[in-house]
Amino acid sequence: MLRKALALLPLIRRNIEEPETRKVLAYMSTPTSATIKIGFRNGPKVSVTRTTLITVLHLFDLNKKLRVIGEKEIIELSEFCLGLDLKLRSALGLEYTNFSAGGRFGVKEAFLYMLVRKYRPNRLIETGVAQGVSSSVILKAITVNGEGHLTSIDLPTYSRAGRMNADGVLDRAHVDPSLGPGWVVPKDLRTNWSLILGDSKEKLKELGGDIDFFFHDSEHSYSHMMLEYEWALGHMRSGVICSDDISWNRAFMDFRKNHGLKEIEWAKDLDFGAVSVENY
């Protein structure tokens, strides 16, 4: 715990008021699900959990480079993230704490939010939903943008044992059948959302027209990832293609190099990749 906290020290010092640095390090070094109220530099105090603190730190840091959103929006997003985090903890318990269910809130979601806010896409496709954490953050950004519709495709795994992918790798992400895919998505954000259940290999074929944002988070086998990336590129003139878990294989790297696509450098972190497509 302490080693992880110290690894975050540069991020903490850049974004948190100096008198509170020691308090935050002590909090991050202790296994707890309790919330803490901390003060960010030149900003109000914000209530966070250990999980959301890391995400909010990255949001503040990332926004210094991009200037996409204001400080007030970061605070509002922090409160939204905290609500999701507490809801997930309450429903999933140790499965959420130990990351055995998948769909945990993290820095990836911060990047997703900033991508949607910066590029303001109109037609967004997501594959892989699980609890609906990424869907929630994307829909939150769409709502703030005032435009856009998200279509999510999910082939749910209900077994706690997970599912073996085409590369023979076990993916333990699953969803409680009593809750269902996307259960955590707030009801007030569902107006701009369509959820399709089924295999994306088949369901993507049924979607026509151009898109301008694609997010892969379904089966992380090489063949499946390449199939989805290629489909997205074939339906995109300009926009963003992004992917979670790019370290599982070389699919994202090979796809980007094969087509000479420009990587979005500020999203290149924590097993997450994104490329911009321009006049393809």
Mean pLDDT, the chain, whole residue set: 86
How do residues 79-118 score in pLDDT, each as one tens digit?
Answer: 888 888 888 888 887 666 555 555 566 778 888 999 999 9
pLDDT at residue 8 in the model: 63
- pTM comes to 0.87
Note whether 276 and 234 are within 8 A (CB): no
For residue 267, pLDDT beyond 70: no
How do residues 124-153 score in pLDDT, each as one tens digit?
Answer: 999 999 999 999 999 999 999 999 999 999
Give the integer Cα–Cα distance in Å for 213 and 232.
Answer: 8
More confident residue, 74 or 187: 187
The average pLDDT across 150-167 equals 95
State the amino acid at position 25 in one-letter form. Answer: L
Percent of the chain at pLDDT > 90 equals 55
Pair type for strands 36-39 and 149-154: unpaired
For residue 259, pLDDT beyond 80: yes
For residue 5, pLDDT beyond 60: no
pLDDT at residue 269 in the model: 59
The CATH architecture one would assign to domain 107-277 is 3-Layer(aba) Sandwich (3.40)
Note whether 169 and 155 are within 8 A (CB): no
Note whether 229 and 257 are within 8 A (CB): no
Residues of the chain within CATH 3.40.50.150 domain(s) are 107-277
More confident residue, 235 or 7: 235
pLDDT at residue 2 in the model: 47
Q: Is 276 exposed, middle or buried (0-12, 13-18, 19+ CB in 10 A)?
A: middle
State the amino acid at position 100 in one-letter form. Answer: S
> How sure is the predictor about 78, in pLDDT bands with cuts at 50, 70 and 90?
confident
Backbone angles phi, psi at 276, to 5 degrees: -100, 140
pLDDT at residue 268 in the model: 63
The average pLDDT across 17-41 equals 75
For residue 11, pLDDT beyond 80: no
Backbone angles phi, psi at 36, to 5 degrees: -135, 145
State the amino acid at position 143 in one-letter form. Answer: T
Q: CA-based angle 76:79:84, to the nearest 5?
A: 130
The average pLDDT across 174-193 equals 96
> How sure is the predictor about 179, in pLDDT bands with cuts at 50, 70 and 90?
very high
